[in-house]
Amino acid sequence: MQPAGTQANVVEHRFFAIIAAARRTREDIHIKAAPTLFEPPARPQYAPGDHTPLFACRDSDGRTFEFYSAVTGAPTVLLFTGGQNLADMTSGGLDPAVLGANGAQVATLVPGDTSAAAAQKEAAGWPHRVMADPGAEITKGFAGLS
């Protein structure tokens, strides 16, 4: 058993340590934690009114789609499927009605030719325009900007 004065000193020391820790600023804590945080590299972000890359491609019906001439002023949603299958995305919870809400135009780009785009549109029962992105060139172009 320790003398009463020693126990009081231990409690007092711990109390003051807690007070000192509470006084540390948020920046101090952030600086010490920063080495464990991951921050992605800064990329340009699109804002309303910004110009996006111009592109033209064929849709699942073989018609030419030009992005700038298709923009009507309504919200535009560009969905890049990447290497994922559109049918898998919809079965996983992607709701085409939500994407097209409030009159939004939805343009979906899938890697491959027009037959691949048509097959994915049909398999998913996708109501929006599906466009072919041979070699994923359009997808790669946007990936570097957003």
The type of residue at 98 is V
User: In the chain, pLDDT over 90 holds for what percent of residues?
Assistant: 16
- Considering the chain, what is the average pLDDT of its residues? 77
Q: What are the residue boundaries of the structural domains of the chain, listed by start? A: 4-36, 56-143
For CA atoms 32, 33, 38, 43, the dihedral sign is negative
Entry pTM: 0.60
Q: What token pair was written down for 83?
A: 């290497």
Residue type, 40: P
Q: In terms of CATH, what superfamily is 56-143?
A: Glutaredoxin (3.40.30.10)
Query: Which is higher by pLDDT, 138 or 115?
Result: 115
